[in-house]
Amino acid sequence: MKASEYLSHLAYDSVVFGYHDGNLKILIMEYHNTGLFALPGGFVRVEEDLDHAVRRGLKERTGLDQIFLEQFHTFGNRARFQPDVMRTILEANGHSPAGDYAWLLDRFISVAYYALIDYRYVTPQPDALSDSCAWYAVNQLPPLILDHTEIVTTALTTLRNNLDRKLHQGHLLPEKFTMNDLQRVYEAILGTPLRRTSFQRRILSLDIVERHEKQYTGKAHKAPYLYSFKKANL
Protein backbone atom coordinates (compact mmCIF):
# COMPACT_ATOMS: atom_id res chain seq x y z
CA MET A 1 0.00 0.00 0.00
CA LYS A 2 1.86 3.05 -1.24
CA ALA A 3 0.93 6.51 -0.01
CA SER A 4 0.83 7.84 -3.58
CA GLU A 5 -2.12 5.54 -4.37
CA TYR A 6 -4.44 6.99 -1.73
CA LEU A 7 -5.80 10.35 -0.58
CA SER A 8 -3.84 11.69 2.38
CA HIS A 9 -5.31 11.65 5.89
CA LEU A 10 -8.73 10.38 4.76
CA ALA A 11 -10.28 7.05 5.77
CA TYR A 12 -13.73 5.53 6.03
CA ASP A 13 -15.34 3.18 8.54
CA SER A 14 -18.47 1.10 7.98
CA VAL A 15 -21.03 -0.06 10.54
CA VAL A 16 -22.57 -3.04 8.78
CA PHE A 17 -25.90 -3.98 10.35
CA GLY A 18 -27.49 -7.38 9.86
CA TYR A 19 -30.44 -9.06 11.56
CA HIS A 20 -30.62 -12.70 12.59
CA ASP A 21 -32.68 -14.72 15.05
CA GLY A 22 -34.05 -11.70 16.88
CA ASN A 23 -30.70 -9.95 17.22
CA LEU A 24 -29.22 -6.89 15.54
CA LYS A 25 -25.65 -7.74 14.56
CA ILE A 26 -22.57 -5.85 13.36
CA LEU A 27 -19.58 -7.02 11.33
CA ILE A 28 -16.33 -6.76 13.27
CA MET A 29 -12.74 -7.45 12.17
CA GLU A 30 -10.05 -9.00 14.41
CA TYR A 31 -6.51 -8.04 13.46
CA HIS A 32 -3.98 -10.84 13.16
CA ASN A 33 -2.09 -11.78 16.31
CA THR A 34 -3.07 -8.63 18.22
CA GLY A 35 -6.38 -9.20 19.99
CA LEU A 36 -7.51 -5.89 18.49
CA PHE A 37 -11.01 -5.50 17.06
CA ALA A 38 -12.28 -2.89 14.63
CA LEU A 39 -15.00 -1.94 12.20
CA PRO A 40 -14.41 -2.72 8.52
CA GLY A 41 -12.79 0.30 6.95
CA GLY A 42 -10.23 1.47 4.47
CA PHE A 43 -8.82 4.27 2.39
CA VAL A 44 -9.82 6.16 -0.74
CA ARG A 45 -7.76 5.76 -3.89
CA VAL A 46 -6.59 8.94 -5.62
CA GLU A 47 -8.87 8.48 -8.63
CA GLU A 48 -11.88 7.09 -6.76
CA ASP A 49 -15.12 8.54 -5.42
CA LEU A 50 -15.58 8.22 -1.67
CA ASP A 51 -18.85 6.29 -2.00
CA HIS A 52 -17.21 3.93 -4.50
CA ALA A 53 -14.36 3.27 -2.08
CA VAL A 54 -16.82 2.33 0.67
CA ARG A 55 -18.80 0.05 -1.65
CA ARG A 56 -15.59 -1.56 -2.87
CA GLY A 57 -14.51 -2.25 0.69
CA LEU A 58 -17.89 -3.68 1.67
CA LYS A 59 -18.01 -5.96 -1.35
CA GLU A 60 -14.60 -7.31 -0.37
CA ARG A 61 -15.85 -7.98 3.19
CA THR A 62 -19.37 -9.25 2.39
CA GLY A 63 -19.43 -10.35 -1.26
CA LEU A 64 -22.42 -8.05 -1.89
CA ASP A 65 -22.56 -5.07 -4.21
CA GLN A 66 -26.21 -3.99 -3.91
CA ILE A 67 -25.99 -2.45 -0.44
CA PHE A 68 -27.95 0.37 1.16
CA LEU A 69 -25.43 2.88 2.53
CA GLU A 70 -25.95 6.03 4.55
CA GLN A 71 -23.16 8.47 5.36
CA PHE A 72 -23.90 9.64 8.88
CA HIS A 73 -20.93 11.40 10.49
CA THR A 74 -17.30 12.45 10.13
CA PHE A 75 -14.93 11.64 12.98
CA GLY A 76 -11.90 13.87 13.37
CA ASN A 77 -11.21 14.23 17.08
CA ARG A 78 -7.49 14.48 17.80
CA ALA A 79 -7.85 11.72 20.39
CA ARG A 80 -8.48 9.19 17.61
CA PHE A 81 -4.87 9.71 16.47
CA GLN A 82 -3.12 6.73 18.09
CA PRO A 83 -0.21 5.67 15.85
CA ASP A 84 0.87 2.94 18.25
CA VAL A 85 -2.29 0.99 17.39
CA MET A 86 -1.47 0.87 13.68
CA ARG A 87 2.19 0.19 14.47
CA THR A 88 1.12 -2.87 16.50
CA ILE A 89 -1.10 -4.11 13.66
CA LEU A 90 1.61 -3.70 11.03
CA GLU A 91 4.32 -5.37 13.10
CA ALA A 92 2.00 -8.29 13.95
CA ASN A 93 1.61 -8.87 10.22
CA GLY A 94 5.33 -8.74 9.51
CA HIS A 95 5.38 -5.21 8.08
CA SER A 96 7.82 -2.54 9.15
CA PRO A 97 5.98 0.69 10.04
CA ALA A 98 8.31 2.59 7.75
CA GLY A 99 8.84 3.03 4.04
CA ASP A 100 5.69 2.16 2.06
CA TYR A 101 3.70 1.73 5.28
CA ALA A 102 4.81 4.84 7.18
CA TRP A 103 1.81 6.88 5.97
CA LEU A 104 -0.54 4.54 7.85
CA LEU A 105 0.77 5.99 11.12
CA ASP A 106 -0.43 9.49 10.18
CA ARG A 107 -3.53 11.13 11.59
CA PHE A 108 -6.73 10.25 9.69
CA ILE A 109 -10.16 11.80 9.56
CA SER A 110 -12.77 9.08 9.03
CA VAL A 111 -16.07 9.40 7.17
CA ALA A 112 -18.51 6.90 8.65
CA TYR A 113 -21.30 5.00 6.90
CA TYR A 114 -23.84 2.47 8.04
CA ALA A 115 -25.17 -0.34 5.87
CA LEU A 116 -28.33 -2.47 6.16
CA ILE A 117 -27.76 -5.87 4.57
CA ASP A 118 -29.31 -9.31 4.44
CA TYR A 119 -27.48 -11.54 6.91
CA ARG A 120 -28.40 -14.68 4.98
CA TYR A 121 -26.40 -13.79 1.90
CA VAL A 122 -23.17 -12.64 3.55
CA THR A 123 -19.99 -14.69 3.77
CA PRO A 124 -17.73 -12.44 5.87
CA GLN A 125 -14.19 -12.18 4.53
CA PRO A 126 -11.24 -10.79 6.55
CA ASP A 127 -8.80 -8.42 4.93
CA ALA A 128 -5.05 -8.93 4.49
CA LEU A 129 -4.28 -7.78 8.05
CA SER A 130 -7.05 -9.69 9.83
CA ASP A 131 -7.71 -13.19 11.08
CA SER A 132 -11.47 -12.90 11.04
CA CYS A 133 -14.47 -10.89 9.99
CA ALA A 134 -17.49 -12.01 11.99
CA TRP A 135 -20.94 -11.00 13.21
CA TYR A 136 -21.39 -9.82 16.79
CA ALA A 137 -24.64 -8.96 18.53
CA VAL A 138 -24.81 -5.19 18.99
CA ASN A 139 -25.03 -5.57 22.77
CA GLN A 140 -22.12 -8.06 22.91
CA LEU A 141 -19.37 -6.26 21.01
CA PRO A 142 -15.72 -6.76 21.99
CA PRO A 143 -13.66 -3.70 22.95
CA LEU A 144 -12.93 -1.77 19.73
CA ILE A 145 -9.88 0.26 18.73
CA LEU A 146 -9.67 4.04 18.54
CA ASP A 147 -13.13 5.65 18.52
CA HIS A 148 -14.92 2.74 16.87
CA THR A 149 -17.25 2.22 19.84
CA GLU A 150 -18.34 5.84 19.47
CA ILE A 151 -18.84 5.28 15.74
CA VAL A 152 -21.11 2.30 16.45
CA THR A 153 -23.08 4.25 19.06
CA THR A 154 -23.55 7.18 16.68
CA ALA A 155 -24.61 4.87 13.85
CA LEU A 156 -27.17 3.13 16.04
CA THR A 157 -28.57 6.44 17.28
CA THR A 158 -28.84 7.72 13.71
CA LEU A 159 -30.60 4.56 12.57
CA ARG A 160 -33.03 4.66 15.50
CA ASN A 161 -33.87 8.32 14.84
CA ASN A 162 -34.61 7.60 11.17
CA LEU A 163 -35.94 4.06 11.40
CA ASP A 164 -39.32 4.60 9.74
CA ARG A 165 -37.70 6.34 6.77
CA LYS A 166 -34.60 4.15 6.37
CA LEU A 167 -35.42 0.57 7.30
CA HIS A 168 -37.43 -0.12 4.15
CA GLN A 169 -34.49 1.02 2.01
CA GLY A 170 -32.21 -1.67 3.40
CA HIS A 171 -32.26 -5.46 3.38
CA LEU A 172 -32.51 -6.58 6.98
CA LEU A 173 -35.65 -8.58 6.11
CA PRO A 174 -36.47 -10.94 3.24
CA GLU A 175 -38.62 -9.56 0.42
CA LYS A 176 -41.81 -10.78 2.11
CA PHE A 177 -42.29 -10.87 5.86
CA THR A 178 -44.97 -10.99 8.52
CA MET A 179 -45.89 -8.03 10.70
CA ASN A 180 -44.39 -9.93 13.61
CA ASP A 181 -41.10 -10.26 11.71
CA LEU A 182 -41.06 -6.51 11.14
CA GLN A 183 -41.87 -5.78 14.77
CA ARG A 184 -39.00 -7.99 15.95
CA VAL A 185 -36.57 -6.05 13.76
CA TYR A 186 -37.83 -2.76 15.20
CA GLU A 187 -37.47 -4.14 18.72
CA ALA A 188 -33.94 -5.39 18.03
CA ILE A 189 -32.87 -1.97 16.71
CA LEU A 190 -34.66 0.10 19.33
CA GLY A 191 -33.69 -2.23 22.17
CA THR A 192 -37.17 -2.25 23.68
CA PRO A 193 -40.39 -4.28 23.34
CA LEU A 194 -43.30 -2.74 21.44
CA ARG A 195 -47.04 -3.23 21.82
CA ARG A 196 -48.27 -5.34 18.91
CA THR A 197 -51.53 -3.53 18.11
CA SER A 198 -49.98 -0.07 18.35
CA PHE A 199 -47.03 -1.10 16.22
CA GLN A 200 -49.18 -2.54 13.44
CA ARG A 201 -51.46 0.49 13.42
CA ARG A 202 -48.52 2.87 13.13
CA ILE A 203 -46.76 0.89 10.38
CA LEU A 204 -49.92 0.76 8.28
CA SER A 205 -50.42 4.50 8.76
CA LEU A 206 -46.95 5.14 7.29
CA ASP A 207 -48.08 3.57 3.99
CA ILE A 208 -44.72 1.88 3.42
CA VAL A 209 -45.92 -1.75 3.24
CA GLU A 210 -48.40 -3.64 1.11
CA ARG A 211 -50.24 -6.78 2.16
CA HIS A 212 -50.06 -10.11 0.31
CA GLU A 213 -51.43 -13.60 0.76
CA LYS A 214 -51.46 -15.29 4.13
CA GLN A 215 -48.56 -17.43 5.30
CA TYR A 216 -50.17 -20.82 5.87
CA THR A 217 -48.17 -22.71 8.47
CA GLY A 218 -51.02 -24.09 10.58
CA LYS A 219 -54.67 -23.37 11.05
CA ALA A 220 -56.00 -21.03 8.37
CA HIS A 221 -57.66 -18.62 10.79
CA LYS A 222 -54.33 -18.11 12.58
CA ALA A 223 -52.22 -17.65 9.47
CA PRO A 224 -50.52 -14.24 9.38
CA TYR A 225 -50.54 -12.04 6.31
CA LEU A 226 -47.32 -11.44 4.43
CA TYR A 227 -46.13 -7.92 3.69
CA SER A 228 -43.48 -6.27 1.55
CA PHE A 229 -42.18 -2.73 1.42
CA LYS A 230 -43.78 -0.61 -1.27
CA LYS A 231 -41.36 0.02 -4.12
CA ALA A 232 -42.72 3.51 -4.59
CA ASN A 233 -41.31 4.36 -1.19
CA LEU A 234 -37.85 2.87 -1.78
Q: What is the pLDDT of residues 2-61, one digit of tens each?
A: 888 999 999 999 999 999 999 999 999 999 999 999 999 999 999 999 999 999 999 999
Per-residue pLDDT band for 234 (boundaries 50, 70, 90) equals very low
Q: What is the DSSP string of 173-197?
A: S-SSEEHHHHHHHHHHHHTS---HH
Residue 219 has pLDDT above 70, yes or no: no
The CATH number for 83's domain is 3.90.79.10
Q: 138 and 73: one domain?
A: yes
Last residue of a domain, one of 142, 166, 190: 166
Which range marks the domain in which residue 193 is found? Answer: 174-233
Q: 126 and 178: one domain?
A: no
The stretch 126-151 carries a mean pLDDT of 95
Is the Cβ–Cβ distance between 148 and 38 less than 8 Å? Answer: yes
Measured N-to-C along each axis, helices 196-206 and 179-190 cross at an angle, to the nearest 10 degrees, of: 100
Number of domains comprising the chain: 2
- What's the CA gap between 138 and 144, in Å, rounded? 12
For strand 177-178 and strand 41-45, is the pairing parallel, antiparallel, or unpaired? unpaired
Give strand ranges (E) for 32-107: 37-38, 41-45, 68-75
Q: What is the pLDDT of residues 78-135, one digit of tens each?
A: 999 999 999 999 999 999 988 889 999 999 999 999 999 999 999 999 998 999 999 9
Residue 155 has pLDDT above 90, yes or no: yes
Last residue of a domain, one of 166, 193, 223: 166
Per-residue pLDDT band for 231 (boundaries 50, 70, 90) equals confident
pLDDT confidence of residue 230: 87
Give the CA distances from residue 29 to residues 102, 111, 227, in Å, rounded to whole numbers and listed in that order. 22, 18, 34
Q: 114 and 181: one domain?
A: no
pTM beyond 0.85: yes
